[in-house]
Amino acid sequence: MRAGIYRVLRIALIAAVAFAAWRWLRPMGLGWVALVIAGAVAAGFVLYRVWRVKKAQRLDARADAWAEALIDPARRPAAIEELRAEREGKGPEDRARLTLVLAELLEADGDPEAAIEVLGELDPSGLDAALGVIVQHALAVAHLSAGDVDAARAALEDRERSGDPKMELRCRMLAGLIEAEEGNHAEAKRIAAESKDEALDDEDLRIEARVLEAVAFDAAGDRAEALKRMARLGDELLEVLTVLGLPRVRALADEALSVRDS
Would you give the end-to-end CA distance of the chain in angstroms?
A: 53
How many domains, in total, are found in the chain? 3
Convert 65-101 to b/e letters by CB count within 10 Å (16 or more is b). Answer: ebeebbeeeeebeebbebbeebbeeeeeeebbbbbbb
> How sure is the predictor about 27, in pLDDT bands with cuts at 50, 70 and 90?
low
- pTM for this predicted structure: 0.76
Same domain, yes or no, for 38 and 91? no
Yes or no: say if 210 and 232 are a contact pair by the CB < 8 Å rule.
yes
- In sequence order, the 6+-apart residues with CB closer than 8 A to the CB of 17 are 38
Residue 69 confidence (pLDDT): 87
- Answer yes or no: is pLDDT of 140 > 90: yes
Q: Rounded CA gap, 136 and 159, in Å? A: 6
Q: Which of 65, 97, 116 is the last residue of a domain?
A: 65
Same domain, yes or no, for 143 and 199? no
CB atoms within 10 A of CB 56: 10
Q: Which of 65, 88, 103 is the last residue of a domain?
A: 65
Same domain, yes or no, for 32 and 120? no
Phi, psi of 161, deg, nearest 5: -85, 135
Is there a domain that residue 121 lies in?
A: yes
Yes or no: say if 152 and 143 are a contact pair by the CB < 8 Å rule.
yes
Residue 51 confidence (pLDDT): 37
Any idea what DSSP says for residue 232?
T
Residue 262 confidence (pLDDT): 61
Q: Which of 163, 183, 204 is the last residue of a domain?
A: 163
Same domain, yes or no, for 158 and 168? no
- In sequence order, the 6+-apart residues with CB closer than 8 A to the CB of 214 are 226, 227, 229, 230, 249, 252
**Residue-number span of the structural domain to which 221 is assigned:** 164-262
Q: Of residues 24 and 50, which shows the higher confidence score?
A: 24
Q: List C-alpha distances in Å: 204 to 108, 109, 155, 208.
A: 20, 23, 23, 6
- Answer yes or no: is pLDDT of 180 > 50: yes
pLDDT digits over 150-166, tens only? 999 999 999 988 889 99
pLDDT digits over 94-127, tens only? 999 999 999 999 999 999 999 999 999 999 989 9
Residue 61 confidence (pLDDT): 61
